[in-house]
Chains A and B, each alone.
Chain A
């Protein structure tokens, strides 16, 4: 079964992770632009980060047969950094057009202050202008209120809920997100956010429509194999393959395909990891011995 991790910060992960993910069935990922663990102090650092999401990281991913997409945005934490915030918004206009960019994100609230509100709003308008969906981060602190405010803002701006993915949900926030008509993301984390068995219960209770699962793995203690682990937990929980596939592949494809930049046929086609051949027109053969899957004798 093919799996999609629609929120993972691969920049912070190793090739061992890529290899394990490919082996576990992950065939496509979305890497949202986020903060890098400490605040950046120059707009230029953001530009190089955006370029790495479109260039080097995409190439790295292709070497393991995983399709890589990304989202672009000024994250809520660094919206509070006046040395970079306005400059990054200007920069974003240049990067929104790129082919691999499937949404504006992560945007949203962290401390839920006025500055964050301003940049959240600005970027929702930017998404409308570039006809892109939005990926929204919900805050760790005062999460329920932050999620309510998020939904209120999306409504106030009349941004289509079907183009809105609200992430990092838990038992307290999920009902209101589903009621709003937005898509609901769940980040499965080793200790915080959401875990596999709670996720299985949520799908049992709320169904599989608009439900999305990701690992949100990054530079902290996190696990890039959480999506396959949820697949296993769902199977153990009695779910049929079609429901597992809907939650862990189809829903992400459907949501991000609304960008017009994730081709349904292309993403559904199997990618044999044959490093001797061309992939997206690029040879991915490296100096080491070519790795060839499913080779006929």
Chain B
């Protein structure tokens, strides 16, 4: 798990003399379900409230693999790393239910981290239900975590699910440019939905966003 090691290295440097023992237990100790979930919850205050900035000198590996870290909270990166530590510590049969529980019982930030980690776990399709729930969420912070800057939907969503998510992004004014790789999955049904939506908005004399106009034009400028 090269990605795990890369993030682990970043977090250790970030923590410096901080709760390094806590971090070691959260990512390396023999696996214990309750302990893991508790550490996952408490990661916010232990990793600090700061955001990852240029000073972190992010290695290119992260961007190459499609993981956006710059500008995100350290706790988010740390929680993703904790999830990535699991394949080496627990059988896959336990990993899926654990990710599901971390998501189900998570607060906003925990849910976001689970959604951002899904694409980097083994057998990502096993986590489709979690991703779909995230895309359906009415809390924009959660929907955004699966919709934006996340390689998961374009790689693993069905066409219907991807179209629903894209239309929801339009409704919520989440920029389509943040749906990673959307151009590759452009399809006739999505363009039809966009054109119908455009007609609805024009009939109601509402504005047409640039993203909607672009999608009506078959996403050519995307």
Contacts and interface: CB of A to CB of B under 8 A. Distances in A.
Nearest to B75: A99
Interface stretch (A22-30, A104-112, A284-292): A284-292
A98 B140 contact: no
Contacts of A287: 171-173
Contacts of A282: 108, 112, 140-141, 144
A231 B106 CA distance: 36
B174 A285 contact: yes
A59 B42 contact: no
A1 interface: no
A266 B73 CA distance: 13
Contacts of A97: 38, 41-42
A58 B107 contact: yes
B205 interface: no
Interface in A147-186: none
A197 interface: no
A211 to B, nearest CB: 28
Nearest to A275: B173
26 contacts: A51-B105, A55-B107, A55-B111, A55-B139, A56-B138, A59-B140, A94-B37, A94-B105, A97-B38, A97-B42, A98-B107, A99-B41, A99-B45, A278-B71, A280-B109, A281-B51, A281-B73, A282-B141, A282-B144, A283-B144, A284-B140, A285-B173, A285-B174, A286-B172, A287-B171, A287-B172
B140 A99 contact: no
Contacts of B171: 287
Interface string A39-71: 000000001000100111011001000000000
A125 interface: no
Contacts of B38: 94, 97
B181 interface: no
A13 interface: no
B76 interface: yes
- For chain B, give the interface size range: 20 to 34
Nearest to B109: A99
Contacts of A54: 107-108
A284 B41 contact: no
**Closest 4 pairs between A and B when the two form their complex, measured CB to CB:** A282-B141, A54-B107, A99-B44, A97-B41
Most buried by A among B72, B73, B139: B139
Contacts of A278: 71
Nearest to B38: A97
Contacts of B112: 281-282
A234 B148 CA distance: 47
Given A280-B73, A281-B76, A282-B108, 18 more contacts: A54-B107, A58-B107, A58-B108, A59-B108, A59-B139, A94-B37, A94-B105, A97-B38, A99-B41, A99-B44, A261-B45, A281-B112, A282-B140, A283-B140, A284-B141, A286-B173, A287-B172, A290-B173
B49 interface: yes
Contacts of A284: 140-141
A263 B72 CA distance: 18
A100 interface: yes
Nearest to B73: A281
Contacts of B140: 59, 282-286
Contact of B107 (A99, A263, A286, A290): A99
Contacts of A59: 108, 139-142
Nearest to B141: A282
A238 to B, nearest CB: 39
Nearest to A285: B173
B113 to A, nearest CB: 11
B173 A263 contact: no
A17 to B, nearest CB: 19
Nearest to B37: A94
Most chain B CB within 10 A, of A59, A280, A282, is at: A282
A260 interface: yes
A281 B107 contact: no
Interface string B3-42: 0000000000000000000000000000000100110011
Interface in A229-261: 260-261
Contacts of A58: 107-108
Q: Could you say which of B38, B111, B171 has the most chain A C-beta atoms within 10 Å of its C-beta? A: B38
